[in-house]
C-alpha cells in the first residue's frame, strides 16, 4: 500500500501504483472505518501483468518441479510467521471472527502443503510395447498464464485453492482479488515479494469488471479459475470458453439440511447453528434451509431458535464474539429486504435479527441470526441465495419428500442430513444432487487434498480447485508414441 492508503498492483516482481482513475474505499464492516482505497485498474494494467507472466513462463516452466516447490516450502514458513497478522486483516476488512479468519488461513496453508506434492501429482504414464518396439508416454505440461478471480468471503483461502498448484505445475499467475477485500491478498503478495521468485511468476491486479473482462479477452491467458456468484460464474465461463480458455467457475448456493426425527437433537442444532450463522452466513457452504421430517419439527425449531438467540454478535477482533457483520451496507439492506419478502410470502419470523444495536458498533453492518418458519418452498426466500445469517425452516412428512425438495432446487453446492439411521444416510448420500455432502456434520471447506466440488448452478466446468483436480486443471497432457525398431540396435 502506498503512503496515501492506495493499494498498488504487483507485477513483474514489483509493486506498481495503478493509473486507475477510479478508486473504491475499503471499509471495515464492523466499524465503517476506512482502511484504504483500491484501484479499479484499467485493461492496460491487466495487459502489462499478462505480458510479465507470459515472459516469466518461458523460464519458469523449465525449472525442475522439485526446485519450483522449494518456493512453496518458504511460502508456508512465511504464512505461518505472519499467520496472526493476516488473520487480523481478514477480520478487519471482511468482518469475520478471529477464529474464522484463522481457520481460513489454516486451509490456505494446507493447500500450499498439498501443492508441494506436485512432483508426484504431475507424474505421467508410460506403456511399453503397445506394439512391437513401440512405446506410448503421457506427460503433463503447464498450460501457461493462468488467472484467478476471487470473491469477498474468503479473501485468504480461496486464491490458495488454485495459486500454489498453478505455479508448482510450472504456470505463471495473475490474481484479481475481490475489490471489497483486497488487503489480505496485498499482505500475501508482500510475502511473495520476499520469496525471490523470478519476476512475473505471480502477479496481482486489483479492480472490478474492466479488469476481469480484460483477463477473459486476453489471448495469452490460457486458464481462468473463478469463484463468486452464479450470475458472474456463468458469464465468466461462457466468455472465457468463447475465447478458447479452460475455465473452472464456482458459483452460488442455497444449501439445505434435513433433520430426521431420530437425530441427536442437541448435536444437530449446535452444528446447524454453526453452519447457518458461521461467517454471518456468508459461506457458499452455509446452511440456508432446514427441512424437518415428521416429529423432528418441534424439537428442532425450539432448539435452533435458542441457539440463534444466544449467539454472541459483535466485532470479530473481540475473541468472545461468535458472529461478525455482513460485508457492506447494501448487502445488509438486501438481506433484510429478503427477510421482509419471506414474511410477505407467508413465513413467520420467529427470531428476528434485523437492525440490532451492537454496543460500541452501532454503525456496523450487523444482522443478528434470524429464523423463519413455515417457509413456502415455492417462494423467493426459499430459492434465492441470501448470503446472510438467515435460516428458513420447512417441514415435510418423509425423507423422500425432503430429498425431492432438495433436488428440486437449482443449486447443488452442499446438503446435510442428521440422523442415527445408516440406511437413511446411505439413501441420502446416494440420491441427493449436490457436490458436498454432510452426514451428522456441517460441511466445512473440504481438506486441501479433496476437490471443492459443486453441482448444477453452483459450478461450471469439469475440474475443481484443490488437490489432484487442480493439478489436472493447470496441466495439459501430451501423448507421445515412439518407435525404436530392434533392427536399429547397435552394439557400442
Ligand atoms: P461476485 O460474483 O459479486 O464477485 C466475484 C468476483 O467477480 C469479484 O472479483 C468481482 O470483482 C468479479 N465481478 C463481479 N461482478 C462482475 C461482472 N459483472 N463482470 C465481471 N466480473 C465481476 O461474488 P461475491 O459477492 O464477491 O462473493 C459471494 C458469492 O460467491 C456468493 O454467491 C457465494 O455463494 C459465492 N461463493 C461460492 C463459492 C464456491 O465454492 N462455490 C465459494 C465462495 C463464494
Q: How many other β-carbons are positioned within 10 Å of the β-carbon of residue 66? A: 10
Is the dihedral angle over the CA atoms 467, 143, 208, 385 positive or is it negative?
negative
Edge to edge, the sheet with strand 436-439 lists: 348-351, 370-373, 390-396, 287-293, 255-259, 414-418, 436-439
The phi, psi pair for 432, rounded to 5°, reads -75, 140
Q: What is the spatial distance between Cα 278 and Cα 271, in angstroms, rounded to a whole number?
A: 10
Q: Ligand 1 atom 40: the closest Cα is on which residue?
A: 250
Cα angle 413, 229, 212 (rounded to 5 degrees) comes to: 135
Domain boundaries of the chain, sorted by first residue? 9-251+458-479, 255-439
Give the pLDDT of residue 458: 98
Nearest to 351 by CA among 305, 387, 320: 305
Torsion angle, alpha carbons of 226, 228, 229, 232, to 10: -40
Atom of ligand 1 nearest to the CA of 465: 40
* Pocket test residue of 175, 228, 334, 383 for ligand 1, highest count of atoms within 8 A of CB: 228
Tell me how far the alpha carbon of residue 178 lies from the centroid of ligand 1, in angstroms.
8
Give the pLDDT of residue 3: 62
Give the pLDDT of residue 490: 74
Q: Ligand 1 atom 16: the closest Cα is on which residue?
A: 209
Q: How many other β-carbons are positioned within 10 Å of the β-carbon of residue 89? A: 23
For domain 9-251+458-479, the CATH superfamily is Aldehyde Dehydrogenase; Chain A, domain 1 (3.40.605.10)
Read off the C-alpha cell for 396: 415435510
Give residue 27's Cα distance to chain centre.
21
Q: What is the spatial distance between Cα 69 and Cα 397, in angstroms, rounded to a whole number?
A: 54
Strands (E), 359-471: 370-373, 390-396, 411-412, 414-418, 436-439, 455-456, 459-460
Q: What is the spatial distance between Cα 47 and Cα 54, in angstroms, rounded to a whole number?
A: 10
Tell me how far the alpha carbon of residue 328 lies from the centroid of ligand 1, in angstroms.
14
Q: For the chain, give me the number of helices (H) and strands (E)? A: 16, 22
Q: Ligand 1 atom 19: the closest Cα is on which residue?
A: 209
Give the pLDDT of residue 486: 83
Atom of ligand 1 nearest to the CA of 252: 34
Q: What is the spatial distance between Cα 177 and Cα 155, in angstroms, rounded to a whole number?
A: 7
Strands (E), 279-428: 287-293, 348-351, 370-373, 390-396, 411-412, 414-418
The phi, psi pair for 230, rounded to 5°, reads -65, -40
Q: Which residues are catalytically annotated?
A: 284
Give the pLDDT of residue 4: 73
Give residue 355's Cα distance to chain centre.
28
Give the pLDDT of residue 489: 79
Nearest to 185 by CA among 210, 164, 160: 160
Tell me how far the alpha carbon of residue 226 lies from the centroid of ligand 1, in angstroms.
8
Say if residue 391 is exposed, middle or buried (CB neighbours under 10 Å; 0-12, 13-18, 19+): buried
Tell me how far the alpha carbon of residue 149 lies from the centroid of ligand 1, in angstroms.
8
Give the pLDDT of residue 491: 67
Tell me how far the alpha carbon of residue 468 lies from the centroid of ligand 1, in angstroms.
24
Tell me how far the alpha carbon of residue 229 lies from the centroid of ligand 1, in angstroms.
4
Q: What pLDDT tens digit does each residue of the chain (492 aa) get?
A: 666 799 999 999 999 999 999 999 999 999 999 999 999 999 999 999 999 999 999 999 999 999 999 999 999 999 999 999 999 999 999 999 999 999 999 999 999 999 999 999 999 999 999 999 999 999 999 999 999 999 999 999 999 999 999 999 999 999 999 999 999 999 999 999 999 999 999 999 999 999 999 999 999 999 999 999 999 999 999 999 999 999 999 999 999 999 999 999 999 999 999 999 999 999 999 999 999 999 999 999 999 999 999 999 999 999 999 999 999 999 999 999 999 999 999 999 999 999 899 999 999 999 999 999 999 999 999 999 999 999 999 999 999 999 999 999 999 999 999 999 999 999 999 999 999 999 999 988 899 999 999 999 999 999 999 999 999 999 999 999 999 988 887 766
Read off the C-alpha cell for 392: 428458513
Is the dihedral angle over the CA atoms 154, 155, 158, 160 positive or is it negative?
negative
By the 8 A CB rule, do 388 and 279 touch?
no
Atom of ligand 1 nearest to the CA of 177: 9
Q: How many other β-carbons are positioned within 10 Å of the β-carbon of residue 132? A: 8
What radius of gyration, in Å, describes the C-alpha atoms of the chain? Answer: 24
Atom of ligand 1 nearest to the CA of 385: 32
413: which DSSP letter? S
Atom of ligand 1 nearest to the CA of 284: 34
The phi, psi pair for 182, rounded to 5°, reads -85, -10
Q: Ligand 1 atom 35: the closest Cα is on which residue?
A: 228
pTM for the whole thing? 0.97
* Pocket test residue of 39, 229, 453 for ligand 1, highest count of atoms within 8 A of CB: 229
442: which DSSP letter? P
CATH architecture of residue range(s) 255-439: 3-Layer(aba) Sandwich (3.40)
Name every residue whose Cβ is closer than 8 Å to that of residue 76 and which is 6 or more positions away in sequence.
Answer: 109, 112, 113, 116
Name every residue whose Cβ is closer than 8 Å to that of residue 161 and which is 6 or more positions away in sequence.
Answer: 111, 225, 227, 452, 465, 466, 470
User: Which residues in 29-45 are b (16+ Cβ under 10 Å) and which e?
Assistant: bbbeeebbbbbbbbbeb
Give the pLDDT of residue 1: 66
Nearest to 273 by CA among 374, 355, 369, 367: 369
* Pocket test residue of 29, 232, 248, 275 for ligand 1, highest count of atoms within 8 A of CB: 232
State in Å, rounded, how far the first CA of the chain is from the last one. 64
Q: Ligand 1 atom 17: the closest Cα is on which residue?
A: 209
Name every residue whose Cβ is closer than 8 Å to that of residue 248 and which is 6 or more positions away in sequence.
Answer: 224, 225, 226, 459, 460, 461, 462, 463, 464, 465, 473
Read off the C-alpha cell for 149: 478471480
Q: Which residues line ligand 1 (CB under 6 A)?
A: 149-154, 176, 178-179, 208-209, 212, 227-229, 232, 235, 250-253, 284, 385, 387, 413, 452, 454, 458
Give the pLDDT of residue 487: 83
Tell me how far the alpha carbon of residue 155 lies from the centroid of ligand 1, in angstroms.
11
Amino acid at each position: 500500500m502506498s503512503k496515501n492508503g492506495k493499494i498498488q498492483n504487483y507485477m513483474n516482481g514489483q509493486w506498481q501504483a495503478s493509473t486507475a482513475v477510479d478508486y473504491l474505499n475499503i471499509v471495515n464492516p464492523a466499524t465503517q472505518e476506512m482502511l484504504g482505497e483500491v484501484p479499479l485498474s484499467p485493461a492496460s494494467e491487466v495487459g502489462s501483468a499478462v505480458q510479465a507472466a507470459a515472459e516469466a513462463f518461458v523460464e519458469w516452466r523449465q525449472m525442475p518441479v522439485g526446485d519450483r516447490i522449494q518456493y512453496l516450502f518458504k511460502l508456508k514458513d512465511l504464512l505461518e510467521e505472519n499467520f496472526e497478522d493476516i488473520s487480523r486483516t481478514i477480520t478487519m476488512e471482511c468482518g469475520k471472527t478471529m477464529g474464522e479468519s484463522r481457520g481460513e488461513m489454516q486451509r490456505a496453508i494446507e493447500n500450499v502443503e498439498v501443492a508441494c506434492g506436485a512432483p508426484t501429482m504431475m507424474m505421467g504414464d508410460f506403456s511399453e510395447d503397445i506394439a512391437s518396439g513401440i512405446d506410448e508416454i503421457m506427460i503433463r505440461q503447464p498450460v501457461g498464464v493462468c488467472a484467478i478471480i476471487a470473491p469477498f468471503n474468503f479473501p485468504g483461502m480461496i486464491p490458495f485453492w488454485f495459486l500454489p498448484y498453478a505455479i508448482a505445475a510450472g504456470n505463471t499467475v495473475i490474481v484479481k482479488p475481490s475489490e471489497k477485500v483486497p488487503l489480505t491478498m496485498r499482505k500475501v503478495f508482500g510475502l511473495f515479494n520476499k520469496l525471490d521468485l523470478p519476476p512475473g511468476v505471480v502477479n496481482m491486479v486489483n479492480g472490478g469488471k474492466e479488469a476481469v473482462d480484460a483477463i477473459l479477452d486476453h489471448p495469452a491467458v490460457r486458464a481462468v479459475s473463478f469463484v463468486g456468484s452464479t450470475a458472474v460464474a456463468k458469464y465468466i465461463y461462457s466468455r472465457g470458453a468463447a475465447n478458447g480458455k479452460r475455465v473452472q467457475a464456482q458459483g452460488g448456493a442455497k444449501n439445505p439440511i434435513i433433520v430426521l426425527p431420530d437425530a441427536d437433537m442437541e448435536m444437530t442444532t449446535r452444528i446447524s447453528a454453526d453452519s447457518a450463522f458461521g461467517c454471518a452466513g456468508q459461506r457458499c457452504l452455509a446452511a440456508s434451509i432446514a427441512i424437518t421430517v415428521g416429529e423432528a419439527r418441534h424439537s428442532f425449531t425450539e432448539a435452533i431458535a435458542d441457539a440463534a438467540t444466544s449467539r454472541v454478535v459483535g466485532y470479530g477482533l473481540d475473541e468472545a464474539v461468535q458472529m461478525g457483520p455482513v460485508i457492506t451496507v447494501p448487502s445488509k439492506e438486501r438481506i433484510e429486504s429478503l427477510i421482509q419478502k419471506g414474511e410477505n410470502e407467508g413465513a413467520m419470523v420467529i427470531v428476528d435479527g434485523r437492525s440490532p444495536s451492537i454496543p460500541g458498533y452501532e454503525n456496523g453492518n450487523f444482522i443478528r441470526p434470524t429464523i423463519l418458519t413455515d417457509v413456502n418452498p415455492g417462494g423467493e426466500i426459499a430459492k434465492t441465495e441470501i448470503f446472510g445469517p438467515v435460516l428458513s425452516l420447512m417441514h415435510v412428512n418423509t425423507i423422500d419428500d425432503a430429498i425431492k425438495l432438495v433436488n428440486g432446487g437449482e443449486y447443488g453446492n452442499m446438503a446435510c442430513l442428521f440422523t442415527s439411521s445408516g440406511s437413511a444416510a446411505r439413501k441420502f448420500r446416494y440420491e441427493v444432487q449436490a457436490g458436498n455432502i454432510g452426514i451428522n456434520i456441517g460441511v466445512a471447506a473440504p481438506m486441501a487434498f479433496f476437490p471443492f466440488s459443486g453441482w448444477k448452478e453452483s459450478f461450471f466446468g469439469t475440474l475443481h480447485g484443490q488437490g489432484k483436480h487442480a493439478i489436472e486443471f493447470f496441466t495439459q497432457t501430451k501423448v507421445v508414441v515412439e518407435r525404436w525398431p530392434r533392427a536399429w540396435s547397435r552394439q557400442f
